[in-house]
C-alpha cells in the first residue's frame, strides 16, 4: 500500500490533471480559430499558460507523460503515411517528383550551409565544438524541409482551390513529409555518432543503413498487423485503442531492439519508430482494402490526439528560453524562407510554369505542424546538451510559420486563379439558381426554404396586382410569360424550375422552357392531372401532393433513417446531385478517389440511367453523382468533381 501511495498516486494525479487540461484545451483552442489562427497554435499557447512556468497547473517534471508523446508521434506518422495515396496523385507524379526533389535538396543544402555559417550568432552554439554545430545544422535543415499538409489542405478547402498549381503543391507537401521522416531517421542516427565523438567510418554507415532497412521491414510488418486487425469487426473505441497501443509499441520495439543490437555492434543500430509508422500507414492505404476505414478512424479521433500532443508541447516549453532566443528564432525563420523561395522558384522554372505560378510557388510550403514538432521533440529528448534550447527556438519558428503561411497561400491561390471562392449571392454553393413560376402559399414557402438553404431563388408571377410584400424573396411580376421576358430575367441560368399552375398552363410553360432554354430539371406541381404522359415525354417531373404524401409515409414506414436523410431532416446531413466536370476525374474509379471522410455516394446517373456505385465504378464526364454528407463535405466533393 505504501508503494502504491508513494509511486503510483503522483503518476495518476499528473495524468488526471493533464486529461482535464486537454479537455479544456480542446474547447478553448477553438477561440483561436475564430480569430483566424491555426488550432495547433491554440493548443500550444494553452499548454504554455497551464504549464509549470506560468499558471503551474502541471508539475515541473512532466517526464511521466512521455508515453503521450510516443503515442501521438506514432499516430502522426501513421496519418502522414496514409496521406500518400498513390492513385490520387498518379497523373501529376512526374511534376510532384521534380518539385519535391528540388525542394528537398535545395532547402536542406541551403539551410545547412546558412545555419552552420550563422552558428556563432546562435547563443547556445557559440563556443561549442564543430561536431555540435554540424549536428544542429543538419537536424535543423531536415526539419526546415518539412511542411504541413493539414494546413495547406485547410486553406485549399476553404477556397475550393483546384488546378495544376494546387495539385502539385498539395502532392509535394504530402510526399515531402514522408521523405522528411525517412531522411530524418538517417540524419538522426548520423548526428548521434557525431555528437558522441566517435569516428563516422564505414561501420557507422553500415549501422545506420541496417537500422533504416530494419525500420522499413518492421513498417511493412506493422502494416500487415493493422490489416489483420481490421479484418475483425469491432467497436470504434476499441479500434482506436488498438491503433494507439500498436503505435506506442513501435517506440517500445525501437528501444528494446536498439538495446539488444547494441550488444553486438560498436555503433548503435537504431530502429526509427516514426519511419515504422509512416511505412505502416502507407501500406494500409495503398495495399489493403481498409483505406477508407483506416482514414475514418484517424479522422474521427485525430483531433483528440493532436490536442493532447500540442498541449503537452506547450506545457514543456521553457518560457525563459523562449524569451531568450526569440531573435534567433526570427533569424532561422528568415533562413528557412530564403531556402524555400530559392527551391520553389528553381522547381517551378524546371517545370516551365507560368510567371504567376513561379512568383507564388513558395507559398504552400511555409506552414509547419505535426511532423515538424514531432521531430523537434525527438531531438530535445535525445540530445540533452542542447535539446531544450533547440526545442524552444524551433517551436517559435513553427509558430511564426503558422501565422505567416496560411494568409500567403490564400493570396497565391487567388493570384494564380485556382481558387473558386463562394460569391456573396451564393453563400453556400455553386449553380443553385431556382425559378418558381406561380404565386401562392406553397410557392412562397418553398422559396423561403430554398433561400434558407443557400439557393438563389426568384419567383415569377404573371399576376401584376398580387401583394408580394410578405414574401421575403425576389418576386418578378410580369404581364405574361414568354421567352423574351424569361431571357430578360436571366432564366437561362436556371438549374431547376418549379411550376405551380393548372395542368394546361403548366404544360404550355413547360414546352416553352423545353424549346427555348433546355433547363435540366423542371418540376410541375399539380393537385389533379389527366394526362401525365405528355409531361413525361419532354422530361418534366410531375408531383401530386396527395400521392407524394402517401409515398413519403410509405418510405418512412420502410426506412425512416434513409427518408430522414433524403429530406434533410437529420442534423448536418444533406443530399445533393453533383455533375462531373473535371477532366482529370474522367475514367477514374471511385475507389481511387479520396473523398472526405463521412461522405456517402448514393448513386451515379449516366444518360438518364441510375447506376448503383461500387468501388470499381468509373466516373465519366457529365455523370451526375448523388452524395450525402454535411454541407462542408459536399462542397469539397464538388470542388474535386467539377474543378
Q: Give the pLDDT confidence of 100-123 residue by residue, as tens digits.
A: 898 889 999 999 999 999 888 888
Stretch 126-139: mean pLDDT: 86
Each residue of 176-209: pLDDT tens digit? 877 888 788 788 878 877 777 666 566 667 777 8
Tell me: pLDDT of 308 over 50: yes
Each residue of 264-286: pLDDT tens digit? 666 667 788 888 988 999 899 88
Backbone angles phi, psi at 555, to 5 degrees: -65, -35
Q: Read off the pTM.
A: 0.68
pLDDT grade for 388, boundaries at 50, 70 and 90: confident
Please report the domains of the chain, with CATH numbers, ordered by start residue: 2-416 (1.20.1530.20), 433-549 (3.40.50.720), 572-642 (3.30.70.1450)
Stretch 450-461: mean pLDDT: 82
Give pLDDT, residue 110.
93
Other Cβ atoms closer than 10 A to 385: 12
- CA angle in degrees (0–180, nearest 5) for 620-626-627: 115
pLDDT grade for 222, boundaries at 50, 70 and 90: very high
Sign (positive or negative) of CA dihedral 112, 113, 117, 121: negative
Pairing of strands 521-525, 541-543: parallel
Each residue of 324-373: pLDDT tens digit? 888 888 999 999 999 999 999 998 899 888 888 888 888 888 887 777 87
pLDDT above 70 covers what percent of the chain? 87
Distance CA 574, CA 245 (A): 36
Pairing of strands 496-499, 433-437: parallel
Alpha helix (H) residue ranges in 432-480 = 441-452
Tell me: pLDDT of 555 over 70: no
**pLDDT top residue among 129 and 464:** 129
Stretch 529-549: mean pLDDT: 80
In 3D, which of 410, 347, 382 has the Cα closest to residue 145?
Answer: 347
Each residue of 58-106: pLDDT tens digit? 776 677 788 888 888 888 888 878 877 877 777 678 888 888 898 889 9
Distance CA 225, CA 433 (A): 51
Give pLDDT, residue 428.
42
**pLDDT top residue among 394 and 157:** 394
**Average per-residue pLDDT for the chain:** 80
Backbone angles phi, psi at 578, to 5 degrees: -125, 125
Residues near 517 by beta carbon (within 8 Å), at least 6 away in sequence: 483, 486, 491, 492, 494
pLDDT grade for 568, boundaries at 50, 70 and 90: low
- CA angle in degrees (0–180, nearest 5) for 224-226-229: 110
Choose the most confident range, by mean pLDDT, from 152-161, 379-388, 430-439, 481-490: 481-490
pLDDT grade for 158, boundaries at 50, 70 and 90: low
Helix, strand, coil abundance in the chain, percent, nearest 5? 65, 10, 25
Are 297 and 240 spatial neighbours (Cβ–Cβ below 8 Å)? yes
Amino acid at each position: 500500500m505504501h508503494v502504491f501511495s508513494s509511486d503510483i498516486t503522483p503518476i495518476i494525479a499528473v495524468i488526471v490533471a493533464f486529461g482535464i487540461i486537454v479537455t479544456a484545451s480542446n474547447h478553448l483552442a477553438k477561440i483561436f480559430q475564430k480569430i483566424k489562427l491555426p488550432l495547433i497554435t491554440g493548443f500550444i499557447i494553452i499548454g504554455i499558460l497551464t504549464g509549470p512556468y506560468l499558471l503551474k497547473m502541471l508539475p515541473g517534471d512532466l517526464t511521466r507523460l512521455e508515453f503521450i508523446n510516443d503515442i501521438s508521434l506514432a499516430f502522426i506518422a501513421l496519418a502522414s503515411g496514409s496521406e500518400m495515396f498513390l492513385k490520387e496523385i498518379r497523373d501529376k507524379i512526374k511534376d510532384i517528383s521534380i518539385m519535391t526533389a528540388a525542394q528537398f535538396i535545395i532547402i536542406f543544402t541551403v539551410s545547412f550551409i546558412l545555419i552552420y555559417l550563422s552558428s556563432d550568432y546562435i547563443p547556445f552554439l557559440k563556443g561549442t565544438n564543430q561536431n555540435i554545430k554540424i549536428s544542429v545544422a543538419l537536424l535543423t535543415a531536415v526539419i526546415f524541409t518539412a511542411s504541413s499538409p493539414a494546413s495547406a489542405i485547410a486553406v485549399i478547402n476553404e477556397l475550393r482551390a483546384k488546378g495544376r498549381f494546387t495539385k502539385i503543391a498539395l502532392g509535394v507537401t504530402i510526399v515531402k513529409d514522408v521523405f522528411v521522416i525517412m531522411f530524418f531517421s538517417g540524419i538522426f542516427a548520423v548526428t548521434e555518432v557525431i555528437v558522441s565523438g566517435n569516428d563516422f567510418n564505414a561501420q557507422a554507415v553500415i549501422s545506420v543503413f541496417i537500422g533504416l532497412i530494419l525500420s522499413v521491414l518492421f513498417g511493412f510488418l506493422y502494416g500487415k498487423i493493422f490489416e489483420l486487425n481490421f479484418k475483425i469487426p469491432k467497436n470504434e473505441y476499441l479500434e482506436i485503442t488498438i491503433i494507439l497501443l500498436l503505435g506506442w509499441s513501435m517506440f517500445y520495439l525501437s528501444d528494446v531492439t536498439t538495446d539488444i543490437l547494441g550488444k553486438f555492434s560498436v555503433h548503435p543500430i537504431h530502429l526509427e519508430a516514426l519511419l515504422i509508422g509512416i511505412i505502416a500507414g502507407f501500406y494500409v492505404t495503398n495495399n489493403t482494402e481498409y483505406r477508407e476505414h483506416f482514414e475514418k478512424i484517424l479522422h474521427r479521433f485525430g483531433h483528440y490526439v493532436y490536442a493532447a500532443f500540442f498541449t503537452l508541447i506547450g506545457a514543456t516549453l521553457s518560457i525563459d528560453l523562449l524569451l531568450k532566443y526569440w531573435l534567433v528564432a526570427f533569424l532561422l525563420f528568415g533562413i528557412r524562407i530564403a531556402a524555400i523561395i530559392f527551391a520553389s522558384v528553381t522547381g517551378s522554372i524546371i517545370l516551365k510554369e507560368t510567371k504567376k505560378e513561379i512568383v507564388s510557388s513558395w507559398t504552400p510550403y511555409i506552414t509547419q505542424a505535426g511532423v515538424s514538432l514531432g521531430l523537434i521533440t525527438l531531438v530535445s529528448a535525445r540530445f540533452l546538451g542542447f535539446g531544450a534550447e533547440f526545442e524552444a527556438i524551433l517551436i517559435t519558428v513553427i509558430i511564426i510559420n503558422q501565422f505567416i503561411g496560411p494568409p500567403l497561400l490564400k493570396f497565391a491561390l487567388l493570384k494564380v486563379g485556382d481558387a473558386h471562392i463562394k460569391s456573396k449571392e451564393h453563400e453556400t454553393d455553386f449553380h443553385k439558381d431556382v425559378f418558381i413560376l406561380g404565386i401562392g402559399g406553397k410557392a412562397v414557402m418553398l422559396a423561403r426554404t430554398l433561400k434558407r438553404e443557400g439557393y438563389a431563388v426568384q419567383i415569377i408571377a404573371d399576376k401584376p396586382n398580387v401583394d408580394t410584400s410578405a414574401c421575403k424573396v425576389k418576386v418578378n411580376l410580369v404581364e405574361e410569360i414568354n421567352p423574351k421576358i424569361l431571357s430578360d430575367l436571366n432564366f437561362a441560368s436556371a438549374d431547376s424550375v418549379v411550376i405551380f399552375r393548372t395542368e394546361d398552363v403548366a404544360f404550355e410553360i413547360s414546352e416553352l422552357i423545353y424549346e427555348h432554354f433546355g433547363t435540366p430539371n423542371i418540376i410541375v406541381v399539380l393537385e389533379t392531372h389527366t394526362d401525365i404522359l405528355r409531361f413525361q415525354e419532354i422530361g418534366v417531373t410531375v408531383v401530386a401532393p396527395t400521392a407524394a404524401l402517401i409515398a413519403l409515409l410509405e418510405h418512412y414506414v420502410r426506412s425512416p433513417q434513409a427518408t430522414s436523410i433524403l429530406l434533410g431532416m437529420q442534423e448536418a446531413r444533406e443530399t445533393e446531385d453533383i455533375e462531373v466536370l473535371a477532366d482529370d476525374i474522367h475514367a477514374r474509379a471511385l475507389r481511387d478517389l479520396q473523398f472526405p471522410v463521412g461522405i456517402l455516394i448514393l448513386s451515379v446517373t449516366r444518360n438518364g440511367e441510375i447506376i448503383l456505385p461500387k468501388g470499381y465504378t468509373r466516373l465519366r464526364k457529365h455523370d451526375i453523382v448523388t452524395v450525402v454528407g454535411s454541407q462542408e463535405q459536399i462542397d469539397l466533393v464538388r470542388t474535386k468533381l467539377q474543378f
